[in-house]
Chain A
């Protein structure tokens, strides 16, 4: 087998993996802090893709895109992050907080409902057809000779760099800032954190904001890359990102990033080297294998029964 095909799949896998990792963060943080699986998270990602298109259209109308494309992209990205975070916050406030203190399954069902609500809301307001945005970032980096080369487009490079920077900033926030300490404290013992004067409802809201912001980064980057999406993209990507979170150990932040990368790489290598049709089968078989040997995921801690 040629080295360049392998290397090319590695590059593609890295790109895909960063996206999975970014979305998986939302699943893992929410699970860590309130022990629920936010099934609407994939749809938050989908909403962010639409928001990217809307803001890009507005900026193009205002003529910003004609002046400077990078500036327009940065502004689009920031606006998307802000508005998607708002969506994440609202979903928690409307659908999950009122159910806190009821059974564990209640918010789970509510999350599935919220996922459907978001899908239908986007379908009705934006139409069921595929939407697209023009590709604005051009250029390709090519390594190798005439016939055997590895290429990475500027957008792909952007995806990897932005994802890693975002993950770095998030890791820093969680480990070094006051908000991060509050998150970790709330995760370990919510009631105790509350007794110490931490407004845990606010911390949980912040977690949803952060998770949605990360999904927004992924959504904006993916739209820049593929340029086409519909109201249903959140489902498959969401399931994959959730798989990544479980693979890495749900509840663990580095686990989500690692899980995303492993899932992206293995999927891409499998489809490039063996068979494209069965790449999902391979991804989930991998998950099954990992869970057999490490039930709490790669970096997850085994669950200790609370006394």
Chain B
């Protein structure tokens, strides 16, 4: 019932933590929701919130570090895109549960083959 196994493929534990920490903030979730629908400049985003440009830029930086969004310079603007693939990977937690069962089955196999060896040698 405790799922603490590193996922098999794309994301490390640290990356998953970064993703969930990034998404634990309502403003950042809102930014993600917006840029997944359509790419937006940081200044357009900043205009949507009752906070400073610098504060919005900081939120964007947290999301970028977590790989949830990517930022590209276009002329004088910084354009933010959503990275749906990273978000999809975070949903791979079902696979983490699968990993737990792989571990259990490997343990059973170890137990049974240790016994098999003992019998073979006795």
Do A and B interact with each other, yes or no?
no
Using a CB–CB distance below 8 Å, which chain B residues touch chain A?
Answer: none
